[in-house]
Amino acid sequence: MIDSESYEGILESYTSALEWMRKIGVNLGAGRTSHYQNIVSYWTDSYRTATTEEGRRIFPSFVNSMLEIHDFVSVYKAFKDVPVETLGAIVTKLNKAVNGPINLEEGTPASATARNFLFEALVAARFHAPSRGASAILDAPSDTGVLFGGGKIWVECKRVTSEGKIEKNVRKASRQLEEVFKKKAGAGHRGMIALDVSKILNPGDRIFVRENDAHLLQSVDRLMNDLIERFAPVWQRVYERRDRKVIGTIARFAFMSTSEERNLLVHTAQWGVNPRVGTSGQNEKIQEELASALNIN
């Protein structure tokens, strides 16, 4: 998915997201969220007339800010019309998500908590599309969950920062799902693991450049297909020893790109679903229909 909003539109959406977060009880403080707003506001007003020196000074912070604010905006757009009294779990996640280091590349395992909680809120937001038959379960016993097709899919979320940590994270997440299954008996309960692998694909702040939107979309689709082909054997190996109710994996990555045809920096994200090998035809169909409903390739 490629963001097609102008810088001005993105800033307006982010400002609305901050106002909404304050309204529902998120303590923004003076941390990274206000920093992103200041940076994007400055660059939106000055990018056309900025000198080369100004560009060198501010542009790296602008790239980071544009990448970071998109997740907050996605959560806001998904839940802005949901009654506040039902958003307790989302408020809790966002109150933790607004902390952490300003720059993504400065993050360490010890400081990753904020962005981990933001990923959980983002996955919940992705699942919340009532008009398409999918609703996030806001009081889930797992990180999040989705009500879809008459059943419940419990989801554990992990941000993975290196290839070597994929198996460890999948093992932990699948064990957590098995604990949920002990409390949620019945055929209507399933589980999936959502992995954010953005830092594996782009450990720094590189910008992905393509000639136009069409080439960018093709390249992003290819990246996701290659990623699943490369890492699926890891999580499939773990699933061999896990409860059959664990039915598959959701993979996601995001980074900043430039579509040269439009000469704009754009947020680019992709989601993919990889069913568990040997899962039932019904489980495969559920994942296929869920991916289609949520526009997940």
Q: Where are the domains of the chain?
A: 7-293
In this predicted structure, what is the pLDDT of residue 204? Answer: 67
Cα–Cα dist 30/35, whole Å = 8
Beta-sheet strands, E only, within the chain: 134-136, 144-148, 151-159, 189-196, 208-210, 246-259, 264-275
Tens of pLDDT along 109-165? 666 899 999 999 999 999 999 999 999 999 999 999 999 988 999 999 999 989 999
Q: Given pLDDT bands bounded at 50, 70 and 90, which one contains residue 209?
A: confident
The torsion of the CA quartet 269, 136, 195, 28, rounded to 10 degrees, works out to 70
pTM of the model: 0.93
- With tokens 């900025």, the residue in question is 50
The torsion of the CA quartet 194, 197, 199, 200, rounded to 10 degrees, works out to 150
